[in-house]
Amino acid sequence: MDSNKTCDLRTNSNCSIFNLNQAPPLEWVWICLITISVVFNGFTVVATSIQKQARSTVNKFILSLSLSDLFLTLTISFFLYEESQDLSIGKYGPRIKESILHLFHSVLAMNIVAVCFERYYAVCKPLKFNSYRRKVIYIIVSIWIVSALIVSPLLLGCHIHSNGSCEEEICAVYGFSLVAILHLVPTVLLLCIIVPIRSQLWSSAPISHISLRIRNHQTRKITKMIGIVTALSFTLWTPCSLFLILKKFRMSFGSFECIIWSSVYFVSFSHCCLNPIVYMAYNSALWGGLKQLRWRKQTELHYCSDSCLSPRDFKMEKPWKKQRLSTISQSCLQVSEKSPTSLSSCSYLSENELNGKANINTIFSKM
C-alpha cells in the first residue's frame, strides 16, 4: 500500500473534507464562521454558567448545545490547520475526524430532542415538569455518554476492511443506523412533540390576567426559539445525511465528490454560527447576564467601613442576614448621632432593604 496516500472512511474517496485545496476557495469564509462561532458560543457558555438568572432548564440545555458547538468549532479549526500545513495525525486520523464530527452531531440531535421534551412537559404537562427539571443534569450527562457510545464503532473500526487501493468501508447496517439515529428518528419525535405544544400555546383561549399573559408570552418566546433552533439544525444537517445515504448505495459523483463532500459539511457546520445568534435574539437572560457582568461593580452598595457587612449580605434570603443588617444599621445611626462627620463612612440602608427588598434609598434623608 502506498504510504503517501491518506486512507479515508468513505468509499472510493481519497479526498478530505478539510482540505481547502480540493474545494472552492472558502478559506476566508471558514475563518469568519469559526470566529463568529467561537465568540457567540463562548459568550453563551459564560452567560449561562455564571449568571443565576440564566440557569433555567432550557438554558442548561442551551449550555450543552453551545459547548458542543464550541468544541466542534475548535476541532474543525485544528483539522483545517492540520490540512493546510500538511501535518499528519497518523493512520487513525480519518477515523478520529469522522468520529468527532458524528459525536457532536449526535449531541446536537439528542439535546434538541431533550429540550423539546422539556418544553412539552412545561406547556402540556406542568404537574410533571418539576420531576423532569430535577433530572436535567443527569439527562445532559447521559446524552454525552450515549453519543460517545454511538460513534465509538467509527473510532474502533466497525467492520472496516482495507483493500489494496487504500480504501476503507463501514458496514452498511451501521451506516444506515447512524443516519437513522442522528436524523430520521429525532425528526419524527420532534414532529410528534411540537404539534401538541403549538396547539396548547397558540390555539388556547385569550388570557385576561396580566401576569398570566406575560408568562404565556415568555413561554411562547422560548418555545419559538427552540423551534427555530430545531428547524435550523436539522435543515442544515439534512444534506449531509442525504449524501451519506447516497454513498451507502455506492453512487459515484466523479470529480465533484470532493466539492460536494466539503460543501455539505460546510453547510452543516454553519449551524454553529446561527444557533447562538438565535439564543441571544430570543433569550433575554443572556443579555441580562452580560449587563450584570459589566455593571456589577458599579451597582454594589456602599457599606459601613467599621463593620463586616459585605454586598452579598444585602440578599435577604436568610433571617440571620436581616438581623445582621438591622444591628449594623442601628450601630451606624448611633455613630452618626455622636459624630455627624462620620456619616459618610456608614452604609446607606433603606427601610425596604431592611425588609428584604432591593430598592436603594437612604434612611438618613429623613433625619
pTM, full prediction:
0.65
Most confident of 158-172, 192-206, 270-284, 323-337: 270-284
* pLDDT for the residue numbered 349: 40
334 pLDDT higher than 60: no
Give the pLDDT band (50/70/90) at residue 263. confident
Strand partners, 162: 168
* pLDDT for the residue numbered 291: 60
* pLDDT for the residue numbered 145: 93
* pLDDT for the residue numbered 19: 52
Contact 344, 351 (CB under 8 A): no
Least confident of 15-19, 174-178, 313-317, 343-347: 343-347
* pLDDT for the residue numbered 6: 37
Domains along the sequence of the chain with CATH: 24-202+223-297 (1.20.1070.10)
Task: Determine the Cα–Cα distance for residues 151 and 334; give it in Å rounded to an integer.
Answer: 70
Higher pLDDT, 302 or 87: 87
* pLDDT for the residue numbered 83: 66
* pLDDT for the residue numbered 327: 52
Task: Determine the Cα–Cα distance for residues 144 and 165; give it in Å rounded to an integer.
Answer: 36
114 pLDDT higher than 80: yes
Helix axes 57-84, 136-156, angle to 10 degrees: 30
Mean pLDDT value of segment 269-297 = 72
CA-based nearest residue to 219, from 169, 283, 268: 283
Q: Which helix (H) or strand (E) holds 162?
A: strand 161-162
* pLDDT for the residue numbered 229: 86
